[in-house]
Amino acid sequence: MTLLTTWPESGPDTVVRRTSDPAEIAAALKPLGVRYEQWPVRADVPADAGGEAVFAAYGPEIDRLSAEEGFTTVDVLGLHPGDDPEYPVRAEAAREKFLQEHTHDDDDEVRFFVSGSGVFYLHVDGEVHAVLCERGDLLGVPRGTTHWFDMGTRPSFTAIRFFHQEDGWIGNFTGSAIASLFPDHDTLTAGYERDGAAG
């Protein structure tokens, strides 16, 4: 259900672009310096697979991208409902943190979705581009790009993260409430499933 939706930064009343075509998504994001590509889905990798299984399954793709982009640190982050009694607290805290608009000074934000989904919102040149990513999608947001991320009210995903710096994720929060103006992960996902991507 990969989907790109673009609105004016003033709000979601007017849709500038809406497409689920991977080639169109890549072409629309390229002028922003955003990398979008799809990797083969390894159907034998469980949705909640740990790092060892993920690295074994996607080793060639990880090695290729790391060599191309000079990444020095790669890890696997997973968040799934289940038997973990701490899941509700951890999920709410993680969602709240990433929902705040921010930038990164020293590193790109590059994620590959092994399972599940998430939405990256890119706030660039007077527009907001919401990229709903799912299993098989890789998105690379360049350092300095204003953005936020929503994993939904009940997060369930596993992602490979790529870093140039060992410090990992360091965000500079803008203090803007713009994220509250636009449809969240759950709304976009529900709308896509109900209406399809046409339009």
Annotated binding site for Ni(2+): 102, 104, 109, 147
Going by the annotation, the residues of the binding site are: 102, 104, 109, 147
Going by the annotation, the residues of the binding site for Fe(2+) are: 102, 104, 109, 147
Q: Which residues contact 195 (CB under 8 A, 6 or more apart)?
A: none
63: phi then psi, degrees, rounded to nearest 5: -65, -40
Distance CA 24, CA 158 (A): 25
Single-letter amino acid code for the residue at 110 = V
DSSP strands (E only) in 80-176: 102-103, 109-124, 127-134, 137-141, 147-150, 157-163, 172-173
Distance CA 26, CA 142 (A): 14
DSSP letter for 70, please: T
SS3 193: helix
